[in-house]
């Protein structure tokens, strides 16, 4: 485990994700949570030395859309379309407590860490409980307090005021990054959207929201306002930088260009959209061609059933290739970019997250090169293996800011059995509400 001193990871296969996308055999030096040297050779003076010769060092994955506290609801509403799925979830949400929110978040964070995710962006209510789980387990969490019209929510008080208060409670915590998160156009009117943006601007945070996930969402909003959701958000003066829109499945060409021109980041969640049968396919290649930054998210385990970014890369690539009749669409390198450096860009953190380079925070994983899903373990194949075949079981160890949070597939800060027991107990109280 790295500490205040220096650690050198020697002779690993370095998947740097730097500007040149170098993959090289070499070493990496970490001091006080940051990478200080990387290359064929680095200084080992005064450093703990770790033999990484059997491992690939990979930047930590960045999951840009999640509802992590729902992890104890995995499988609770399978094989339903989005409308029926939400009916179940709303019934369960009415029963939730601070304790089960934290238990669910801890279970989801454990799953993410064990599959190489070091940063995630969340959207939910009761984010204080989720923030406590983030601090317990050490992951980096961007936590968006769900904002709705007061008439549309069961939250006590005004949701946008709750979001501001949450931001102020947690803004000085090292690995918790609070923000405001309007749920979507179907529960947020013009005043709520404007107030959410005002909170983000005054508090200096991101804004995260769902956008154009289903045809029904788009058509109902168009019938109500005369405009499709992105065009309406532009008309009311909402769209702008420092925003992350999740899903973005049902977009026109004009809307693609609108999001790109306003520098709105997009969180593509292919597995969740496929499982909920939302129909269309997020126009990832068109968004990227227009200049938008597109990253990957898993959505929740209730709609995806997995929090693995490895699975998300695989599905995102196959979906775009198939839909566009183009085997070159979203190459393996592009998919790995979307899971790492593009995720950092969406969060405005490309200067210190998303790649292995001097000055960046030491968020990375060690992948076992002897794992069957990474054979043949050749430098020229490692990016392809990560995008298309790697198993979560290949993740041996995970570091956030140089702190080892997973060592040899065991959580370091808290043992999995205790996290699991709390999650199972919380699930026992919630599942009956789904019947």
298-352: pLDDT as tens digits: 999 999 999 999 999 999 999 999 999 999 999 999 999 999 999 999 999 999 9
CATH class of 6-59+356-411: mainly beta
pLDDT at 2 (0 to 100): 44
Categorize the per-residue pLDDT at 83 as very low, low, confident or very high, splitting at 50, 70 and 90: confident
pLDDT tens digits for range 16-61: 999 999 999 999 999 999 999 999 999 999 999 999 999 999 999 9
pLDDT in tens, 352-380: 999 999 999 999 999 999 999 999 999 99
Alpha helices in 236-381 (DSSP H): 253-261, 270-275, 284-290, 309-324, 332-339, 341-346
> Stretch 399-412: mean pLDDT, rounded?
98
> Domain spanning 61-346: which CATH class is it, in words?
alpha beta
Cα→Cα distances 195→13, 229, 232, Å: 48, 17, 16
pTM: 0.97
pLDDT(291) > 70: yes
Would you tell me how many other CB atoms lie within 10 Å of the CB of residue 316? 25
* 191-214: pLDDT as tens digits: 999 999 999 999 999 999 999 999
- Least confident residue range of 82-96, 326-340, 407-421: 82-96
Share of the chain above pLDDT 90, in %: 93
pLDDT at 260 over 90: yes
DSSP code of residue 279: -
User: What average pLDDT does this structure show over 385-413?
Assistant: 98
Q: What is the pLDDT of residue 340?
A: 99
Domain segments of the chain as ranges? 6-59+356-411, 61-346
Distance in angstroms (rounded) separating the CA atoms of residues 192 and 353: 32
Q: What is the average pLDDT across 72-86?
A: 90
pLDDT of residue 434: 85
pLDDT confidence of residue 433: 85
CA 76, 80, 85, 88 torsion-angle sign: negative
Name the nearest CA neighbour of 42 among 26, 65, 20, 18: 26
> What confidence score (pLDDT) does residue 4 get?
55
Q: What pLDDT does residue 3 have?
A: 47
Report the pLDDT value the prediction gives residue 86, as an integer from 0 to 100: 85
Strand pairing report for 55-59 and 364-368: antiparallel
- Among 89-93, 352-356, 421-425, the minimum mean pLDDT is found in 89-93
How high is the mean pLDDT of the chain? 96
Contact in structure between 304 and 314 (CB atoms under 8 Å)? no
**pLDDT tops 60 at residue 230:** yes
């Amino acid at each position: 485990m790295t500490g205040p001193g220096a650690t050198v990871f020697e002779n690993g296969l370095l998947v740097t994700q730097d500007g040149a996308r170098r993959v090289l055999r070499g070493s990496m030096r970490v001091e006080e949570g940051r990478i200080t040297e990387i290359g064929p050779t680095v200084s080992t003076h005064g450093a703990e030395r770790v033999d990484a010769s059997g491992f690939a060092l990979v930047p930590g994955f960045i999951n840009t859309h999640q509802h992590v506290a729902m992890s104890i609801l995995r499988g609770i509403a399978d094989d339903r379309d989005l409308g029926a799925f939400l009916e179940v979830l709303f019934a369960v949400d009415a029963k939730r407590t601070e304790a089960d929110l934290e238990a669910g978040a801890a279970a989801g964070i454990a799953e993410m860490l064990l599959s190489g995710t070091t940063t995630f962006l969340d959207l939910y209510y009761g984010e204080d409980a989720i923030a406590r789980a983030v601090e317990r387990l050490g992951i980096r969490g961007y936590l968006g307090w769900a904002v709705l019209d007061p008439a549309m929510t069961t939250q006590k008080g005004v949701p946008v005021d709750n979001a501001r208060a949450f931001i102020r409670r947690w803004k000085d915590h090292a690995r918790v990054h609070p923000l405001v998160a309007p749920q979507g156009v179907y529960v947020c009117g013009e005043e709520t959207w404007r107030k959410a943006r005002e909170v983000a601007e005054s508090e200096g945070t991101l804004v995260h929201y769902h956008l154009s996930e289903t045809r029904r969402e788009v058509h109902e909003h168009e019938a109500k306002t005369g405009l499709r959701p992105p065009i309406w958000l532009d008309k009311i003066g909402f769209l702008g930088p420092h925003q992350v829109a999740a899903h973005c499945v049902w977009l026109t060409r004009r809307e693609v260009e609108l999001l790109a021109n306003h520098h709105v980041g997009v969180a593509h969640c292919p597995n969740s959209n496929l499982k909920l049968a939302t129909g269309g396919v997020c126009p990832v290649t068109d968004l990227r061609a227009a200049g938008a930054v597109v990253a990957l998210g898993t959505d929740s385990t209730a709609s995806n059933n997995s929090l693995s970014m490895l699975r998300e890369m695989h599905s995102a690539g196959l979906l775009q290739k198939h839909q566009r009749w183009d085997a070159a669409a979203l190459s393996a390198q592009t998919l790995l970019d979307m899971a790492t450096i593009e995720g950092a860009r969406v969060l405005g953190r490309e200067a210190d997250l998303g790649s292995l380079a001097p000055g960046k925070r030491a968020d990375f994983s060690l992948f076992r090169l002897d794992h069957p899903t990474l054979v043949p373990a050749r430098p020229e194949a490692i990016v392809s293996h990560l995008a298309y075949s790697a198993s979560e079981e290949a993740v041996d160890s995970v570091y956030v800011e140089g702190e080892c949070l997973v060592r040899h597939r065991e959580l370091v800060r808290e043992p999995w059995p205790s996290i699991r027991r709390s999650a199972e107990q919380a699930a026992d109280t919630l599942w009956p509400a789904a019947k």
